[in-house]
Amino acid sequence: MLEDETEHVQLIPSAVREHLPDHIPRPALPDSIALQKLNPFAAPVHTPPAVQSNSSAGDSKWHADWHWLLPFSYDVTRDHERALLPPVQLRPPIYTFYEPSKKSSSDVQKAEERLIFQWRRAWYAQGFMPRVLGRPDAMQNPKYRTVQQLGLQDNIEREFARWLAWENMGGGIITDWVTFPMADYNNALLSFLRRGQYPKLTRYERLKGGLFCGDKDVVKKGIASAIKQPDVKKALNFADKMFADMFSIDSGQDGVAFYDSDTISKKYKDIATPLFGSDRAKGLRLLGNLINAHLHGIWHATFTEVAVLKPMAKSTTAMVDPALYIAGNLTSCPPSNPMQSSCPPNQPNCKRCVSSQPVPIATPSSFRNTTEKFFIGIVPHPYTTASLTSNRDAIDAAFVRRLGHTGRDMWLTAVTSASQKGTNAAKLSVLKSAVASNWAAGRTLWVTAEHGLPESELQWIFGFSVPHEGVDVRVDAKSETPVPGPERRPRNKEDEDEGKARPEAEKLVEEKRLLGKAKSMVTSKSGPNKKVREAVEGWNMGDSEAWRFVRAFNARRTMLRKHWEKEERKFAGSDRAERGKWGRWFD
């Protein structure tokens, strides 16, 4: 302490001095952000939107907003890692009623539940929320005791229980569990049912009692009217003529198939014999295989070609090969079809699947909005793109900048070249529409190169079990399978373009090695790798936006399905035993 300071301290009375601290700390100053808030001359700053519930899964984050077609999500989310997705499309509930017979064996009940699982899967793929009702749901209806006092027997008693359970859930759509959507996604009846508004109690003449729709009020009135019928004990179901006045009857639908007993007996005798004979379990299994084959056949008839997008073809064979493998399986004929020449009940003149004439597979370099084609797109992270196109297993920010402007957003520029040129904003709008618009539902499938897609997800996207008989083009073309693989299919003119020929074996091995290292880099959480990745993303903002959008779209789709499965796990036909058998794509 200096002498002057000592003299001043001595002037302070000792009684006061002993209460003074030896050191006065510097006051804490507010940080720069707090000072900016106090600065009246600071530039305005947007407040990020509140984080929505259920808006992340793993590394993917998203924000649902009607402005999802904006080119860059950051303009709304104020978070570089959070993708802007369209609001979730509401799925109208569709119900069925299942009550196992007390006399049924365990094998029969397992076969019935397997068929109900197929019912769930097919309707889910068409945009509905399938739910299985039972006797306990009917007992929750106040009218249940009234119906029991009628002394009904057999089928009509079960029909009343089905309707009481349906009314208790608020109406909507109810079907038999052998009623399946058997048409393309945009079929008129399926589109009407997806709207979720049913002011009239409606049944469809060709479906008999296979499908009804109506809101709660008209269902309630219908049940009250049925109870008053004097000859109600003589009816088998509500499709009986005595109930005709209850309904608005539509005779023109062709989008739904009802595999009832009469139809099976007349059209599918190979299945009717065991089903109505001594081996019901076998008959149900054969019926399930037949329905799966019919659903797959309808998918075949919807598209004239499967287009696996392959931009920058000279460098992306290894990246696109898994998609070609899936395309081969989708376009092959179902191997377990018990009646190869049969057609669905609602499509008697369907186009039969012939192994020697499969749906063509093409590998165009860019996307063009074409209704009759089904598109599969593999979206790489810009780091993966740079690694494959430059044949380098280590990419840094300096190298990416040296590529110049022509090396920016290479994948997005290439994949949209046939439909949009100009700014990234226009290109991203085209791509996002191709991924998540109403038009894209049922027509496209997009997957990131680094994350792939669980096989179990494919069956929920397509509505049927995808066969495994297609030839894996990653394996040497020596397969003896009767299903033509890509190497034996007729060549599409697009595939003869320069760069479309498969590379030599050594080149393909190198591509796979680079792809594997790029995957590790993109999914790494280490600090140095993250900095390099962020630098590459900053130089390729268009490619990065496309990649994050597709990653988040798939993550949300899977999360929503799993949430629904969790809710339905206790009920018949749930996904308790239907796990994927292939593992993941791109492994």
Q: pLDDT tens digit string along 65-99?
A: 999 999 999 999 999 899 999 999 999 999 999 99
Task: Report the residue count for the chain.
Answer: 587
* Of 232, 103, 108, 96, the residue nearest 166 (C-alpha): 96
Burial label for 79, CB within 10 Å (0-12, 13-18, 19+), is middle
Handedness of CA 557, 561, 562, 567 (dihedral sign): positive
| Per-residue pLDDT at 320 exceeds 90 | yes
Tokens of 244: 């005709």
Helix, strand or coil for residue 134? coil
Query: In the prediction, which pLDDT does 370 show?
Result: 87
Rounded distance, CA 572 to CA 115, Å?
10
| Per-residue pLDDT at 581 exceeds 70 | no
- List, for residues 423-477, the tens digit of each pLDDT value: 888 999 999 999 999 999 999 999 999 988 877 889 999 999 988 754 433 233 3
pTM beyond 0.85? yes
Rounded distance, CA 278 to CA 263, Å?
19
* Of 147, 192, 154, 160, the residue nearest 173 (C-alpha): 192
- List, for residues 550-559, the tens digit of each pLDDT value: 999 999 999 9
DSSP letter at 27 equals P
Rounded distance, CA 585 to CA 587, Å?
6
Once rounded to an integer, what is the mean pLDDT over residues 204-221? Answer: 94
- List, for residues 169-182, the tens digit of each pLDDT value: 999 999 999 999 99
For the chain, what is the mean pLDDT? 86
Tell me the pLDDT band of 514, cut-offs 50, 70 and 90.
very high
Tell me the CA distances in angstroms from 213 to 174, 197, 229, 243, 417, one per residue in order.
6, 9, 21, 15, 45
Helix, strand or coil for residue 19? coil
Contact between residue 452 and residue 586 where contact means Cβ atoms under 8 Å apart: yes
Query: In the prediction, which pLDDT does 486 show?
Result: 45
Please enumerate in sequence order all residues whose Cβ is within 8 A of that of 414, keeping only pairs 6 or more positions apart, or say none: 311, 312, 365, 366
DSSP letter at 454 equals B
| Per-residue pLDDT at 484 exceeds 50 | no
Rounded distance, CA 367 to CA 415, Å?
6
User: Can you state the angle between helices 505-523 and 382-390, rounded to 10 degrees?
Assistant: 150
Tokens of 325: 């493998």
Once rounded to an integer, what is the mean pLDDT over residues 314-333? Answer: 92
Query: In the prediction, which pLDDT does 47 show?
Result: 75
Rounded distance, CA 513 to CA 319, Å?
11
